[in-house]
Structures are given as C-alpha cells and as structure tokens.
Structure 1
Amino acid sequence: MFALFYSLSILASLLFFTPSEKVKDQKPNIILIFADDMAYGDLGVYGAKGWETPNLDQLAEDGVRFTQFYVPHAVCTASRAALLTGTYANRLELYGAIDHSAKHGLNPEETTIAEMLKATGYQTGMVGKWHLGHHTEFLPTNQGFNSYFGLPYSNDMWPNHPEVKGYYPPLPLIEGEKAIAYLEDQRELTSWYTYKSLEFIEKNQGQPFFLYLAHSMPHVPLYTSDKFQGKSAQGAYGDVMMEIDWSVGEIRSKLKELGLDENTLIIFTSDNGPWLSYGGHAGLQAGLREGKGTSWEGGIRVPAIMTWPGKIPAGQIQDQAAMTIDILPTLAKVTNSQLPTLKIDGSDIWPLTQGQNVPLKPYFAYYNKNELQAVIYGKWKLVFPHTYRTIPAGTEMRNDGIPVKYINVKLENPSLFDLAKDRGETTDVSSHNPEILAKLNGFADQARADLGDALTGNEGANNRKAGRIK
C-alpha cells in the first residue's frame, strides 16, 4: 500500500520539478537518523558480529565516527527530548518513557531543532517514533515539523506486550495529527518509514530540508519485512539491523540520484543502549557495563556517525567525549541559525568533525526522576551511589522476545573510572586521583544547584515545566 503511494507521489513530483530549478549554494540539507535501543557494538565498524551493516560502515568511512558519544538519559522520552532541544530532559520536567496514559509532553514553548531550522527557511519533516507526547498539542506538527508519519510512542506499547497484556490500547500509526491505521503487524514498519523519508526528500529537493527519521527498532518487538527475514546469522535482531542498514543505503542512494549528496549532512546515532533483559533480542554491549535503563557506559554510550562530503573529512575517528545535547547548537552553527532563547545545555562540537578538539566540559547522566547518577569529564567518569537494575549472574537468557527479570542493586560508594583504560567500569580509582575526584564532585555540585538531584534532595533553581493538557 505505502510502496504504491510512494511511487505515485514521486511521479507527481517529477512532473512539476526539474533539476535545473535546484537552488545553488543553499544551506545544507540535514538528515538526523535516530535508532531505538541500538547498542554501541551494533554496527560493523563498532565490532558487530552475526550481521552486516555495509551502508552504515560506509557512512562512517565517509565521515567521522565517534567512540565516546553519549545520551544524557538511557530511556526513550527523556533521551529524545534532550536530542531535539539541546537540553537535559530533567530541566524540561520530562523523565522516563511516557505512554498512552500521559497527560503531558514536550512543552510547545521549548525550541526544537525543527523550529530553529524552520525559522531560517528549512522544510521540516519527521518520520518514525515521536514519544514526546501523543496529544495533538504535543505532536511533531506542533513542535516545528511540517509533516509527520509514525508512531506516537514505543512499538511495544500495544496490546501484544509480553508482560502487561491488556494494558495498552491499539497502536496508532499517525500521519499529520490523525491515526490512519492501528497496527496489528509491524513487519513493514521500517520499509514504510524509508518510503516516507524518500518521499519527503523528493518533495523538498529544491530547498533546504531537515528530515528527522526516528526508527522504532531495534526496540522490541522485532519485526522485519520478508526481504530481510532470516537474512542474518544471528537471528531476528540481526535481521532488523540489516533492514535499518538497508534503509540508510536507500536514503543515500536517493540523495546521490538527485544530486543532493554533497550538500547533505547526515547524523546517525541511537537513543540509548541495549535492553539486555531481552537476551538475543537485544544489541551488543561491546565490553561496556550494563545497558538501557542505567547510567553505566552500556546504557548511555552509543554509536554516532556524521557525514557531509567536502565538509567533514572522511575516515576520521573522534575519541573526545560528546553528547546528543550538542547536536542542536552544532546545527545552529553550520546553518547560521539563531539559538533558542531559553537556556540550553549543549555546545557546538563542529570542530570535532574536523579532527580538532573542543574545550573539555562535564556531561551529566540522569535517570529515574531527576537522579544525577554520573558525571563524565573527558576520560574520567564519577558514578554516585544509587540503585540500578541488573540481570543476576547465571540467568539463562532467552531468544524469543520474552524478557528475563532484572533485580535492583545498590552502588554503595562513589566510584571513579578511567574510561581510557577501563571502559567496562571495573576498577574504582578514586583513591589514586583525589584531585580529579574533587574536580568532578565540584561539577556535580554545580549541576545540583542548577538542575537539582533527587539523590541528594536538591530541587534545582533553573528547571522548567513540561506541557500539560488542559
């Protein structure tokens, strides 16, 4: 159905547009691809085994690959709010992963990347998982996007959830602001997202555009179209990864076909690490500790690639730390756009794409309701006492889409790690580095005064409110 619609819409666009009409020397097109629960080790260039990602590997070879790139929150809603606003989500009163019962969402007073770019003449489109509020006033079309096609929240928030059957209503597929279908089958979801993305590129090829493609997978439940089912040696997860890789390849091919590839910046990353309780239906930690839902490296360190032919030198590996909150101010820099008037937390990291360095700055990892769980400064990471989830040693993992149970454990003492030597966070080096420990504690105190910290009872002086339905 969607493939036919896509073909007809492309034919219509070609009847009314010729390549000679393209705007020369225009601002760069921007494509931001955000995977869901994709682990640090899930791409070939990051060490994936059991499946191949040739298109994503080529994307990395054509630009810069980050080895210490973070999300500030290892969970869906908070991570997406931080990405799109350049701001820690706890500053915006957004935590966790909201569902169909939520009465709140991203406050329309906040400025998203889409709103920032739209103000300078960009056409903006969003395809995929939103998860920043499903009520009309919070949907993408009211947050700076000209068009939207996708799911309002996670793809497991449907009646077939393996642990809470009957809690979630039918899963709506939304176009614009209306549900056009309720999904009972997700096998074509990645293909639909891809076709809609190609359609958006075709339609807007004559002007600067911003496309935000937020894949629903490899978040569980895992589904692939027939063309990828059973293609990987690993199984369902590998099949999904190969289809997402195919999607990236289709987008790059379309850009090249239309002569847009040399003026398009592509950014690819993930919202958090793997959902480990799902066993074979989760991604690869690549030696990092724990996964999604924790502030250990496996939860917050994600793959990140940026490519722009002629602007970002090819074949780079960037080891300096950066975070998704830096994407908005970086895009402001390369497009000469005005930064939001409300305070943001990210900073311009464009020099990192050029093989240069930027001044070191602290990054903070939050989870639950405003718990400051860790601070990162270059190669150093200080983790504060908190309770986190883990899978008990010796647990027999499954490979059928049914999760095993986590247990909660308490980190009793602050722990300092040298990530350059110990990215698995195995050895506390606090006693050998008192000056570093004091420095990171100082950063944490500043963050607590600014943003608050539920672990220490700090309220924070500069937080704002989420949007709420009336």
Structure 2
Amino acid sequence: MHLYAGLFITFFTRCGPAMESTVPRMPNIVIINMDDLGYGDMGAYGAESLLTPNMDRLAEEGIRFTNGYATSSTCTPSRFGMLTGVYPWRNSDAKILPGTAPLLIDTAQQTLPKMLREVGYHTGIVGKWHLGLGSGDVNWNEYITPGPNEVGFDETFIMAATQDRVPTVYIENGRVVGLEDDDPMEVNYEENFEGEPTGLDNAELLKMKWHHGHNQRIVNGISRIGYMKGGEKAEWIDEDMADIFLAKAQSFVREHKSAPFFLYYAMQQPHVPRTPHPRFVGRTNMGPRGDVIVEADWCLGEFLKTLEEESVLENTLIIFTSDNGPVLNDGYYDDAVERVGNHRPAGPLRGGKYSLYEAGPRVPFIVYWKGTIEPQVSDAVVCQLDFLASFAKLTGQQVDGTDSRDYLDVFLGKSHKGRTTLILEANSRTFLRDGHWVMIPPYRGAAVNEQVNIELGNSDRYQLYNLQEDVGEQINLAESNPDKLEELKKRYEGLRGKTIQQTERLELH
C-alpha cells in the first residue's frame, strides 16, 4: 500500500520501556450527511437567524466549499451516488423509495465501504439508509438481507427509509431492534391492515397534523406514508431519535478507535416530521424545523467531543454535507413556512429540494481534518460522487467502472481545480454544470410544485445560466448566447448518452 503524500499520521507504539516503533496509520473517515439541510441553513453559509456553532467550527477550521454538490436534489438517488460513485441517473430505480423497496445497490457493485474495508477499515453506518432492503417481500421478523451489511458495512444501525415512512423501527445488523416474537410486524404500502389507525380516519389521535400525503399509519401520534401492523414494542419514539443515533455513533468510535474506521453518520434532521427532543423545543423562533437544526448542531458538537476524548480527532477526516436542498412544507403543518421570517434556507440559490435549480443539488460541503487541512474557502466544484475515487487514492487503491474521479487534492485543500463537468439530476431529469455555466434542457411538467411551493425548473425552453454572474439563476441566456448553448448541448448529449467507460474518456476535468 502506498502512503499518500506523507499525510498519514505516525503513531508510536510502546511495547516496553526500551522499545519504540513507528506504525503508519491511515486516517479515520467520517461522513456526516444531513437530510434536507439547505445551502443557507447554517451560519457559515450566511444564516443569521440560526445558531450553528459546531457546524460553523468545521467550516472555519476546515475547507468550506461554495460549489459543493450532491448528485441529486432528492434523497435516495443522492445517497446512491455518494456510496457507489455512479451517477444515479444511470439506474432507473434510483428514485425516492418506499420503505418496502428492495435493495437498490447490487451486492456485487463497488461501494465506498467495500473499498475501505479492503484495506483494513472497520465500516459502519448509523442513521438514515433509504436505499432499499431485501430482494422482494421482506419478512421483518427475520434477518433482513440483503442490506447495508451486504454492500460493505460491518456494523449497521439504521432506519429503513425516512422518519415519515413505515416501518418506524430501528434495524441493527439486519434485525429489527426490540421486536417481540408474539407481536410480528407487517408492512404494506398499498392497503391498510384492518383496525390500524390512520391520519385520514383518526385525526383525534394526532399530535401533528398532516398537510399532504402523510395520512396513513399513525405511530407516536404522527401519521406516516404507508401502513404497518404489529411490532408495537419496536416502534421508535421520534423525539429520542437524534439522541439514539448520536449514542450509536459515539459507541462506534469508542469501540473501534484502535484501528482505522469509516463511519457514515446519516442524521435525520431537518427532514419531516421534525420532532426535536423537549430539550430543544423553542430554542429558535422558527418552530420545529429551526429547533431540529439546532439539535443536529448539538449532536455534531457532542460527536466531536467524543473524537477528542478518544484522542482520534487529529487522525479523522470529516466531511459534513447534506443529501439535497431544503424544503419548508413537506407534508405536515409545523409552522415552517409561517415562522421562517427572514431566514433563507436556500441562501442566494433558486429552487430547493426536488428542483433542477441550484438549491436542489448544491449543498453545504465542508471537509475538516484537524492539523492537516489548512482553513480556507474554496470555489472549486466538488461532488459527493467523487468520494469513492478520492478516498481510494488516499488509501493507495484504484477504482474502475464508476463515474467517480480522484479529486483528493481538492478535498484536502491542495488544489482549487475541481470538476469541470457534472450531470446532476432532479426526479430523473438531468442537467449540465460545466465550468461556471448551467444548462437545463426543456422538460414537460409543472413549473412549480404547489404542495411544497418550490420551483422545479421545468420549462418548454432551454435554460442557460452563468453562475459566476448570476448565482440565483434569474437571467436565462439561452437566446442571447446561442453559441454557448449549442456548445453545452453537444457536451451534455455526448456525456449523457454514454456508458461509464465512454463518459470517462469524454469528460473534461
């Protein structure tokens, strides 16, 4: 194995008073992935109404990227791209999945945890999965396979899909936590089980009123998407979720600090339903959405304390990011719209979650490695897609057959030459980022999702924006700059229509 540019930390192992040897050790890697945190939802990216000191600490002491991207403006495809290094638009099933969907990632496919495990990393995931489980009808009362354990994670403690979808249980290493033999679970997304309460029919049982789409099985006073029966003792309490995930992440660090580890800490905030622990209720003036962002910031601070207490912070590369952009009303009446005030979750960007515009896939993106990375702000274009190839370089490996490219020098702040081209997507509709230009092809459909009040980016015309001069995408230059439009149309068509191997030859880095 080759050490990368002398960056591996040297540790001293004392075997006796007269014996000392140096042992090179690879850095721990932690990805902290928020759920629907917008580009403007933290102080370091311009938020003034939210106090996020721990997020801001990472930004101030690490690299804050201003052009950092997920691969998609929605969760499942975004997470697929991050873990596989493959554009989600190449997989027709990479859409927002129900809780009963089969595993989206082929067990033979290269993944980030598999690659790191090959060189001795202990790998774990804590938090939101939402990439499918099983290969068909899942029996929730037995070992659930295939799942994250079968695609490279040694230890897993997850929710199957999202907090607003059934099954509303934790799953640890393939088994539902706390499930009792005499109360087996069933899950269905097509029809309810007889006698089970729903938000549509049993409003008197709700502590949170649904706005749209979230009117099925009631769990913990909140109606969800989908139906469920049994498993009563296994059902989670939403308000405790952040604490439980944090404790699992801390335990993972404590138990595996003696060897390199990779932890994917997938927080659930600020995705709906927003259910802050009572300690955080009212901590902001923005209602539950603001409160859970502050709660998440506290969790981050406690996690960093654990890394410090266990003496591994200086040998831990941390990436803090989000799976996609923000949304206020996403299915429940929780005052997110009414109490947002002057806060701009998307910052200066247009659109939001679900959108082809920048606020869909452009997200907070921070890389922190205490003592190794120099604090800086970088305008380089970077993408979660490239974690696979970049971490392969860091650990002396190579990966083939993916869209992932090596930008390790950029992630470590040694270069500001990021990606030139990216093909990003929103609800399976793709667009091109090329240099400081964005080209969005024509798409049929509503211009605005009225339920969530977000511009989707659909138009009957080509759209062309110069982000260097117009980051808010207000001036469509498609008609006034036809030569640039034609150039980008050809580039997009050449990249979009090719296989991974052909795309690699065509891309301009």
TM-score of the superposed pair, with normalisation by structure 1: 0.82
Pick the aligned partner of 1:154 from 136, 159, 162: 162
Q: Which residue is equivalent to 1:220?
A: 272
**Cα distance between partner residues in 1 of 2:290 and 2:24:** 40
**Cα distance between partner residues in 1 of 2:455 and 2:62:** 41
Is residue 37–residue 322 contact of structure 2 (8 Å, CA) maintained in 1? yes
**Cα distance between partner residues in 2 of 1:291 and 1:220:** 15
**Cα distance between partner residues in 2 of 1:203 and 1:320:** 36
Shifted more, 435-444 versus 47-56: the winner is 435-444
What displacement does 1:347 show?
A: 1.3
| Superposition misfits of 4+ residues, deviation over 6 angstroms | 19-23, 405-409
What displacement does 1:207 show?
A: 0.1
Is residue 277–residue 391 contact of structure 1 (8 Å, CA) maintained in 2? no
Q: Which residue is equivalent to 2:442?
A: 385
**Cα distance between partner residues in 1 of 2:324 and 2:22:** 37
Pick the aligned partner of 1:271 from 308, 312, 323: 323
CA 435–78 in structure 1, closer or farther in 2 if over 3 Å, else same: same
Task: Describe the superposition over 1:263-303 as per-residue Cα deviations: whole angstroms up to 9, x where unpaired.
Answer: 10000100100124447168701121111111111111100
Task: Describe the superposition over 1:9-41 as per-residue Cα deviations: whole angstroms up to 9, x where unpaired.
Answer: xxxxxxxxxx97999431000000111111000
Q: Which residue is equivalent to 2:52?
A: 53
**Cα distance between partner residues in 1 of 2:246 and 2:230:** 18
Pick the aligned partner of 1:207 from 256, 259, 275: 259
Pick the aligned partner of 1:324 from 377, 380, 384: 384
Pick the aligned partner of 1:356 from 396, 400, 415: 415
**Cα distance between partner residues in 2 of 1:259 and 1:461:** 45
Which SS does the other structure have where 2:145 is aligned? Answer: helix
Is residue 116–residue 338 contact of structure 1 (8 Å, CA) maintained in 2? no
Residue 335 of structure 1 pairs with residue 381 of structure 2: no
Q: Which residue is equivalent to 1:89?
A: 88
Q: Which residue is equivalent to 2:235?
A: 182
Which SS does the other structure have where 2:296 is aligned? Answer: helix
Pick the aligned partner of 1:415 from 463, 469, 477: 463
CA 321–165 in structure 1, closer or farther in 2 if over 3 Å, else same: same
Q: Which residue is equivalent to 1:438?
A: 486
Task: Describe the superposition over 1:316-357 as per-residue Cα deviations: whole angstroms up to 9, x where unpaired.
Answer: 111121111011111111122332x4x211212222232523
Q: Which residue is equivalent to 1:301?
A: 362
**Cα distance between partner residues in 1 of 2:87 and 2:22:** 36
Q: Which residue is equivalent to 1:165?
A: 215
Shifted more, 163-172 versus 253-262: the winner is 163-172
Amino acid at match of 2:475: T
**Cα distance between partner residues in 2 of 1:290 and 1:407:** 5
**Cα distance between partner residues in 1 of 2:250 and 2:230:** 22
CA 102–172 in structure 1, closer or farther in 2 if over 3 Å, else same: farther
In terms of fraction of residues, the more helix-rich structure is 1
Residue 142 of structure 1 pairs with residue 162 of structure 2: no
**Cα distance between partner residues in 1 of 2:14 and 2:284:** 42
Residue 345 of structure 1 pairs with residue 403 of structure 2: yes
CA 195–390 in structure 1, closer or farther in 2 if over 3 Å, else same: farther
**Cα distance between partner residues in 1 of 2:163 and 2:484:** 42
For these two proteins, the number of residue pairs brought into alignment is: 417
Is residue 155–residue 216 contact of structure 1 (8 Å, CA) maintained in 2? yes
Q: Which residue is equivalent to 1:312?
A: 373
CA 180–211 in structure 1, closer or farther in 2 if over 3 Å, else same: farther
What displacement does 1:421 show?
A: 1.4
What displacement does 1:231 show?
A: 1.0
Amino acid at match of 2:440: V
What displacement does 1:447 show?
A: 2.3
Is residue 294–residue 388 contact of structure 1 (8 Å, CA) maintained in 2? no
Is residue 318–residue 355 contact of structure 1 (8 Å, CA) maintained in 2? no
CA 171–117 in structure 1, closer or farther in 2 if over 3 Å, else same: farther
What displacement does 1:235 show?
A: 2.0
Is residue 100–residue 132 contact of structure 2 (8 Å, CA) maintained in 1? no
Aligned pairs for 1:4-19 within 5 A: none
Shifted more, 225-234 versus 25-34: the winner is 225-234
CA 99–461 in structure 1, closer or farther in 2 if over 3 Å, else same: farther
Amino acid at match of 2:154: N
**Cα distance between partner residues in 2 of 1:198 and 1:147:** 13
Gaps of 5+ in 2: 1-12, 16-20, 135-143, 167-197, 200-209, 217-224, 504-509
Identity %: 32
Amino acid at match of 2:474: T
Residue 234 of structure 1 pairs with residue 275 of structure 2: no
Amino acid at match of 1:385: P
**Cα distance between partner residues in 2 of 1:129 and 1:168:** 17
CA 437–20 in structure 1, closer or farther in 2 if over 3 Å, else same: farther
TM-score of the superposed pair, with normalisation by structure 2: 0.76
Gaps of 5+ in 1: 1-18, 174-178, 396-402, 453-459, 463-470
What displacement does 1:366 show?
A: 2.1
Which SS does the other structure have where 1:149 is aligned? Answer: strand
Q: Which residue is equivalent to 2:432?
A: 375
Pick the aligned partner of 1:429 from 470, 477, 482: 477
Residue 450 of structure 1 pairs with residue 508 of structure 2: no
Is residue 352–residue 455 contact of structure 2 (8 Å, CA) maintained in 1? no
**Cα distance between partner residues in 1 of 2:350 and 2:478:** 18
Which SS does the other structure have where 2:490 is aligned? Answer: helix
Is residue 389–residue 408 contact of structure 1 (8 Å, CA) maintained in 2? yes
Which SS does the other structure have where 1:198 is aligned? Answer: helix
Q: Which residue is equivalent to 1:457?
A: none
**Cα distance between partner residues in 1 of 2:103 and 2:76:** 11
Query: Once superposed, what is the RMSD of the aligned Cα atoms?
Result: 2.8
Pick the aligned partner of 2:249 from 177, 181, 197: 197
